[in-house]
Amino acid sequence: MLILGIESSCDETAAAVVRDGREILSSVIASQIDLHRPWGGVVPELASREHLEKIEPIVEQALTQASVKLEDIGAIAVTQGPGLIGSLLVGVCYAKSLAWSLDIPIVGVNHIEGHVYSVAFENPPIEYPALALIVSGGHTNIFHIPEEGKYKVVSRTRDDAAGEAFDKVAKMLGLGYPGGPAIEKLAVGGDPKRFKFKQAKISDGRPDLSFSGLKTAVSRHIRESGIEPVANGGEPSTEIRDMAASFQASVVASLVGTLSKLAIKLQPKTLIVAGGVACNLALRSVAEAAAERLGVPVYFPSKHLSTDNAAMIAAAGQFHLTRGERAELEMTADITLRLQNLENRDAELRRSKIRYRL
């Protein structure tokens, strides 16, 4: 079956045509990075307006690139939440109208579940139980997935998401937005051991994560040592490079350390590392080394599937459609949609239909 995936939860308008949940015929992404860069972060009002302008041409482009017509599409999968309400509504309303006019099924997909499915294209099929670290600008969670579609949060960030910490520290260092790629670039050649940024200790002993203390430690260091942020286009000092490398190493160590601890306890057959921060090569190499030590394969999406895209939404949608799930046309965006076990999903979908109805 051909599924049209649609994603508009934050600042990327994306559409993709995917066959049988595993083969990408097209994946088109319109990034709004340039639009939001002057503000140093995503401006929700600007994001939703831009989605409105882009959604139609992006879907058309996805169909053209896949060499298919609208009539060839068997179903639509659209990101229902979590995300920004205005942004989500553009995708959800567009997808519902299209499904209605074509008289084909539609399912709402949880964006985070989409990130889990981003590894479905370039790796062997996922063996369960799996353990998935989903690490992006909005989320940092580790899910235990005993079988396909069943999720248990076994670790979460207590404060900032890891990508958010990258973005905030980049801002302090005078780097551009988004901060993750900028810090990674700066960290190349920097000394990751020069600054000892300690990993947060969670006082109740749960295997949770925390990045706000680390961010504060970097900020204090910048203030106390009088480091000059990188001027526009200026050559960064060795100190700034070392600080970027040390910060990155600390984030990576706490993510992979927690993932490893949980893997020892839960004995998964597959590890998954996905989400925008999974683009980070330091994270990939440390996670790969840990997986090798544990004797468990680790799956990453390639770079263009790590950040937000619609192919991953179509792949997750395929699973739900195959189970027979169909969303009603009253289905609407839900900014707080949680990743549920299948048993609770139907109830959640029913509840979410009445929220944020236009």
- Does the footprint of ligand KG4 cover residue 166 (CB under 6 A)? yes
DSSP states of 75-123: EEEEEEESS-HHHHHHHHHHHHHHHHHHT--EEEEEHHHHHHHTTTTTS
**Residue 134 Cβ vs ligand KG4, minimum distance, rounded to whole Å:** 9
Residue 70 C-alpha from the chain's centroid: 28
Among 7, 11, 164, 308, binds Zn ion (CB under 5 A): 308
List all residues 6 or more positions away from 145 whose beta carbon is below 8 Å from its beta carbon.
116, 128, 129, 130, 131, 132, 151, 152
Paired residues of 157 in beta bridges: 209
**Pair type for strands 106-110 and 75-81:** parallel
**Residue 300 Cβ vs ligand KG4, minimum distance, rounded to whole Å:** 12
Short-list 4, 110, 30, CA closest to 331: 110
**Residue 104 Cβ vs ligand KG4, minimum distance, rounded to whole Å:** 27
- Does the footprint of ligand KG4 cover residue 180 (CB under 6 A)? yes
- Does the footprint of ligand KG4 cover residue 276 (CB under 6 A)? yes
Q: Which of residues 120-179 bind Zn ion (CB under 5 A)?
A: 136
**Residue 299 Cβ vs Zn ion, minimum distance, rounded to whole Å:** 17
- Does the footprint of ligand KG4 cover residue 136 (CB under 6 A)? yes
CA distance 318 to 23: 11
Stretch of residues binding ligand KG4 (CB under 6 A), selected from 85-93, 136-144, 201-209, 286-294: 136-144
- Does the footprint of ligand KG4 cover residue 24 (CB under 6 A)? no
Q: 């929700």: which residue's tokens?
A: 44
- Contact residues toward Zn ion (CB under 5 A) are 136, 308
Point out which residues bind ligand KG4 (CB under 6 A). 10, 136-138, 163-164, 166-167, 178-181, 184, 275-277, 279-280, 307-308
